[in-house]
Amino acid sequence: MEEAFTDLLQADAGLAALCDDRIHWGIQPDGIQQFPYLNLTLVSDPVAYYLDGEAGVQRVRVQLDAWAESYLGAVAVQRAASMLLSGYIGTVGVIAFKGMLVETGRDLDGLSPGDAQQLYGRSVDVLVHWGAASV
């Protein structure tokens, strides 16, 4: 699911214009020094079951953190991602996204001791319903 989710974000022209390919799970790789960028975190990944086994459709929560050198830059990235994902249904590779729900946005504090510069962040959680694509 993670690969298909990343491919979906990177294929969007509006988001690519803002972040290019700076969309990663966890933290940005060391060599990336440009802004803005988008970090993705899998917050929850419960397995859904019926009485006779796994349901075949999973519901996960993904946190998207947009980071930029300005507050409005972070807002622009978060809004572009939210517009793409809100209500999205479609297939990317072998993954069928059965519906996405955008919820729970918030600001992030980009200050930490020793930081060379202030970063601004916006975060949003997305509930992703997905399963294997039919062949």
Domain CATH for 115? 3.30.2000.10
d(CA 110, CA 76): 16
Does the structure show a pLDDT above 90 at 71?
yes
d(CA 112, CA 58): 36
For the chain, how many structural domains are there in total?
Answer: 1
Domain of residue 40 covers 2-132
pTM summary value:
0.88
Q: Which of 30, 23, 1 is nearest to 78 (CA)?
A: 23
Does the structure show a pLDDT above 80 at 6?
yes
User: Which of 71-75, 110-114, 123-127 is predicted with the least confidence, judged by mean pLDDT?
Assistant: 110-114
User: Which of 36-40, 58-62, 108-112, 128-132 is predicted with the least confidence, judged by mean pLDDT?
Assistant: 108-112
